[in-house]
Each structure stands twice: as C-alpha cells, then as structure tokens.
Structure 1
C-alpha cells in the first residue's frame, strides 16, 4: 500500500469469472475472464508500459506472461482516474491463481512497478 502523499500510488483490483461455454473438463481446459481496474491514487499522471503475470494452476504449474501494455494499449491514467479492461486465461485445472505487476512511468520519467495482488481463478463448486 502506498502512503497518500506518494505521487505514484496505483491501486489494482481484479474480479475473475469462470467461462463454462468455452471450458471442457474432459479436455482439461478451464477458461476464465478477469476484469481489472487500475486506479491512480497518486498526484502524477502515470502510463502503463508493460505487464508481468504469474499464473499458477492447481498442479502448481507456473506460466509467466510478459508483454507491452494491456489489450494492445499503453494507457496514461490521470490522478484520481482509473482505467478498466478485461482479458482471459486458460488453465488445465479448475482452480488456480494469478498475480503480477504493471511496469509504469510517471510524468517525470520515473519508472516504477504497480503490484497486482494475488487473486483466485475457480470454476463453480471447485472450492468448498
């Protein structure tokens, strides 16, 4: 968590959903969408340059995903504003998790990481 006076305070919230019509238990294919809100709680505009995801399935198999921007964009988020997008992940198990970071740059040229807290991907009835 960032202090209120931190010029680069970025808050990330994620909600995930299971996509049953694209998933197949027989094929070991579990599809999830996730909806991300990136809020700039700081005092300077910040641009999202790249992403780094760590995706772990129920067998502890880890995939790392790195790339420029999100969904083909490198948005600049003004102080007090937020940016939202949706994307997806495919796992071989009905339960997994994701976490990571966004690499950002502020209006002064300072680069910093905005952490993405761990969140669960779970098909219905997979967790008790």
Structure 2
C-alpha cells in the first residue's frame, strides 16, 4: 500500500495485477487500484477533478484529467472517507502511476491533494540484476 497526506487529506492506494484480464502474449497487462481518500482534518472538502500520470516500462507517458472519480465528486466532512476501485491497462509488464485530486473547501479555496506514486508490477516483467 502507498499513502500520502496533503493538508489533512490522506490518500491510500493499493494496486493489484489482474492476471485474468491480461494477455501477456499480446502485450496487454491490466491492473486494478483501490483508492481510499480520508479527511483527517477539521474542514469539509469536495473532490472536484483528478489527474493521473501513467508511465510504462519504456518511459511512455499518458496523462488523464477529468471531473471527479468514477463519476462522482465526493464531499468529505471531517472524519469521513470515500473509497473506489478503478483500473488501467499497459502494453508493458510494469509501470508507475502518480497523480492528484483537486479539492475545494466550503470557502471555495482549491488545493491539490497528492496521490502517492505507486508501482504497477506483474509477474511477467523481466528482472535484471546489474
């Protein structure tokens, strides 16, 4: 699991390789990632947008931006959390993801809550020792 806290918003991500949806012989590798967003502070916030930077094992980058997550813009009062699961495919057997959620306070202030960088690993990646 990977965790990061930004301005009292704790984001935890757990990636899982999906062997049953992957086809290694066709360079198709799929991961699910479960995200938990917790408000550990004293002010209510609402998730407005998401940003992802996905890098495959060859260094190719894909950026994803959009409103909310899984079709929702959850509002988190102090002590509340929101969880969801999504996924991503790659054409390489490993990669890395990092991102942020734009949050808005009740006073209209916007800030980015960082999503920790997390590794997308599969049993199909070649392991090389120096």
TM-score normalised over the length of structure 2: 0.90
C-alpha distance in 1, partners of 2:61/2:105? 31
C-alpha distance in 1, partners of 2:26/2:123? 17
C-alpha distance in 1, partners of 2:107/2:8? 14
Note if 1:124 corresponds to 2:123: yes
Q: Which secondary structure does the structure 2 equivalent of 1:21 belong to?
A: helix
Give, in angstroms, the shift of residue 125 of structure 1.
5.6
C-alpha distance in 2, partners of 1:34/1:57? 16
Give, in angstroms, the shift of residue 79 of structure 1.
0.8
Alpha carbons 2:33, 2:85 under 8 Å: kept: yes
**Cα RMSD after superposing both structures:** 1.3
Q: Which secondary structure does the structure 2 equivalent of 1:26 belong to?
A: helix
1:34-59 per-position Cα deviation (integer Å, ceiling 9, x unaligned): 00000111111110001000000000
Aligned twin of 1:61: 60
Alpha carbons 2:93, 2:124 under 8 Å: kept: no
Give, in angstroms, the shift of residue 108 of structure 1.
1.1
Aligned twin of 1:28: 27
- Consecutive unaligned residues in structure 1, runs of 5 or more: 3-7
Runs of 4+ off more than 4 Å:
none
TM-score normalised over the length of structure 1: 0.91
C-alpha distance in 1, partners of 2:84/2:104? 19
Give, in angstroms, the shift of residue 127 of structure 1.
7.1
